[in-house]
Structure 1
Amino acid sequence: MLSRTASELFWMARYLERAESFARVLDVTYKLSMMPRHSQQQRDLALPLNLSWTHDLFQARYARFSMDNLLNFFAMDSNNPSSICSCVELAWNNAHAVRGSLSAEVWECINTTRIQLKKLRKQGVESIGADAFFDWVKDRAHLFRGAIFGTLLRNDALCFIRIGTLIERAQATTQLLLVKDQQISNDPDSVREYYRLDTLLRAVSAREAYNSLYRQPVTRETVAELLILRNDVPRSLRACIEDIVGQLELVANQHSQQPLRIAHQLNVDLRFSTLEDLVKADMQSYLTGLLTRINALADSIHHTYLETV
C-alpha cells in the first residue's frame, strides 16, 4: 500500500475517533454543569479545554466561560481544530482522497455524517438538544465502525484504519485519566471524587463493566486498574495496545522493527503490571510516562509507514 493511502486511512480513523471522544467528554461535562455549584466547578467544566490544550483559543473566541460557550466551541466551531465539526470535516477530506480503498457503505456513512452535521450547524445544537446531539455523534461513530467491520476487505487498509482508531483511543483514555487524577488530587472532597470517577467511567462507557467486574464502590485504584490494565475493557490502555500489536504484526515489513519494538515493550509492561504496582506509583508521573510512550509509538508508526519515501 502507498504511504499516502495508508496515511489518509490512518488519519480518517483518528479524526472520527477524536470526534466521538470529545462527544463523550462534552456529554459528561454537560451533566456535571447541572450539579449544584461549588468552588471547583469551573475546573470540572474546563475538562475539554485541558484535554485539547485550547484554553488560549477559547479565551480569544469567547468573552465568558460558560457551558453554552464550551458546547459551541467543541461542537460546531470550525476555528477550533479539536471541535467535532472540524474532526468530521478532516475525516471526510481524508476519506474522499481514498474512496477507492473504502466500501460504498463506509463512504456513505462518512458523507452522510458530514451532510447532517452541516445542517445541524446551521440550525444550532439547541435545535435537537445537547443530549441528543451527543448521542447522534456516538451513533454515527458506531455506524462507521460497523460498516468498517462488516464490509471492508481484511487487508492493509483495514489494518491502518484500526491502528489509527486505537492510537487515538489510547491517547484519549490516558489524557482523561491524567486530567481526572489531577482534579481529584487538587480537591480531596470525597463526594466530588466519587462523581468525577463515575463520570470518567461513563465517558469511556465502562460503568457497567466496572459494576460487573468489581461489585464494590468506585475507588481511584480500581478505576485505574480497569482503564489501564484490563484487556477485556475496549477502551482500556492494555486492550488498545494489545490490538495495536496485532495490527502492526499484520502490516510488518523489513522496516517495522522500531514501532513493533515500542508496541511490544509497552504491551508487556501493561500485561505484567498489577494493581499493587499502580497503588505504589505516583499516578501523575506514571500516566505522563505512558502518554509519552504512546506518542513515541504514534511517531514511530508515522515515520515507518506514513511518510512518503
Structure 2
Amino acid sequence: MLSRLAGSVFHVGSAVERAEVVARMLDVYVARGEPAGVEHDRAVAAELRAVAAELRAVVGAAGPANDPDRASTIDSLALDRHEPASIASAVAVARDNARRAREVVSTELWDCLNVTRSRMPRKVAPDRAHEFLAWVRERSALAIGVVEADASHDEVWEFFTLGRALQRCSVTARLLASGLLDPESGASWTTALRACGAGEAFQRGRDHHTPGPEDAAAF
C-alpha cells in the first residue's frame, strides 16, 4: 500500500475512535455526570469548569477552558468545527481522509462517514445532549462495524485498527493521569470505567458494585 493511502486510512481509524471517545466522555462527565444541581450556583459552576478543564486535557483540546456551563462545554468539545479535538472536527477528518483513500476504502465506509458528516448539527439543545452524544457513538460503531464485517483483514483493516488503538491508548492514559480520577475513590473509578466504555465489562462476573482502585486500575 502506498504510504499516503496508509496514512489516510490510519487517520480515518483514529478520527472515528476520537469521535466515539469524546462523545462518551462528554456524556459521562458533562451531560449526565457530576456536578449536578443548578447551573448558576457558584460552587457548581466552579466545579464544572474544573471538570471541563481536565476533560480538555484528556482529549487533547487546544487552548484554555473558559466554558461557563454545560451547554458551552458541549458546544465547544462536540460542535466547534475549529476545535481540533471536537467531535465535529473528528468526523470531518475521518470523512476527508476517507475521500483521499477512496481507492482502498469501501463504499459502505465512505457512505457511512459521508452521511455522518452531512448530518452533524450546528447546535444541540442542552436537554438533547445525551441523545446527540448517543447518536455519535452509534455512528462511530457503525463505521467500525462496516470495516470489521465487510473488509478483508488486509493492510486497510490493519492501518484503520492501528489508528483506533493508538487513539484509545492515548486518551485512556491521559484519563488515568488526570484530575478526573481520584485513585482512592471507588465512585471515581466507576465513572472512569464508564468513560472508557468498560463499566459493564468490569462488573460482569463480579459480586460487588463499587470497584476497588487496584482492581479497576488493573482492568
TM range (shorter): 0.7 to 0.9
Cα RMSD after superposing both structures: 2.2
Is contact 2:13-2:163 (8 Å) kept? yes
Q: What amino acid does structure 1 have at the position aligned with 2:152?
A: L
**How much does 1:54 deviate?**
3.6
Question: Which of 100, 105, 120 is matched with 2:108 structurally?
Answer: 105
Is contact 1:19-1:88 (8 Å) kept? yes
**How much does 1:43 deviate?**
2.6
**How much does 1:205 deviate?**
2.0
Matches of residues 32-181 of structure 1 in structure 2 within 5 Å?
32-33=33-34, 35-36=36-37, 40-54=47-61, 56-59=63-66, 64-117=67-120, 120-121=121-122, 124-126=123-125, 129-180=128-179
Aligned partners of 2:56 and 2:74: how far apart in 1?
11
Instruction: State the secondary structure of the residue aligned to 1:100.
Output: coil
Give the TM-score taking structure 1 as reference length. 0.63
Instruction: State the secondary structure of the residue aligned to 1:79.
Output: coil
Matches of residues 6-17 of structure 1 in structure 2 within 5 Å?
6-17=6-17
Is contact 2:10-2:162 (8 Å) kept? yes
Matches of residues 236-251 of structure 1 in structure 2 within 5 Å?
none
Aligned partners of 1:209 and 1:28: how far apart in 2?
16
Deviation string 1:47-85 (CA, Å, 9 cap, x unpaired) is 3212134463444xxxx5321111100111112100100
Aligned partners of 2:154 and 2:115: how far apart in 1?
25
Cα pair distance change 1:41/1:194, threshold 3 Å? farther
Aligned partners of 1:41 and 1:128: how far apart in 2?
17
Question: Which of 198, 211, 214 is matched with 1:218 structurally?
Answer: 211
Q: What amino acid does structure 1 have at the position aligned with 2:197?
A: S
Instruction: State the secondary structure of the residue aligned to 1:65.
Output: coil
Cα pair distance change 1:109/1:66, threshold 3 Å? same
Instruction: State the secondary structure of the residue aligned to 1:129.
Output: helix
| The structure with more radius of gyration | 1
Q: What amino acid does structure 1 have at the position aligned with 2:10?
A: F
Q: Work out the number of aligned pairs and report it.
A: 211
For structure 1, list consecutive stretches of 5 or more residues without a partner in the other structure: 227-309
**How much does 1:40 deviate?**
4.9
Deviation string 1:133-191 (CA, Å, 9 cap, x unpaired) is 110010001100111011112211111111111111111111111115x6416xx7xxx
**How much does 1:204 deviate?**
1.8
For structure 2, list consecutive stretches of 5 or more residues without a partner in the other structure: 38-42
Q: What amino acid does structure 2 have at the position aligned with 1:155?
A: D
Aligned partners of 1:179 and 1:56: how far apart in 2?
17
Aligned partners of 1:85 and 1:34: how far apart in 2?
25
Is contact 2:181-2:189 (8 Å) kept? no
Q: What amino acid does structure 1 have at the position aligned with 2:59?
A: S
Instruction: State the secondary structure of the residue aligned to 1:32.
Output: coil
Cα pair distance change 1:104/1:204, threshold 3 Å? same
Aligned partners of 1:40 and 1:128: how far apart in 2?
20
Task: Say which structure, 1 or 2, has more relative contact order (CA 8 Å, 6+ apart).
Answer: 2
Aligned partners of 2:218 and 2:101: how far apart in 1?
39
Deviation string 1:207-249 (CA, Å, 9 cap, x unpaired) is 22221243333121111011xxxxxxxxxxxxxxxxxxxxxxx
Instruction: Tell me the equivalent position of 2:40.
Output: none
Instruction: State the secondary structure of the residue aligned to 1:218.
Output: coil
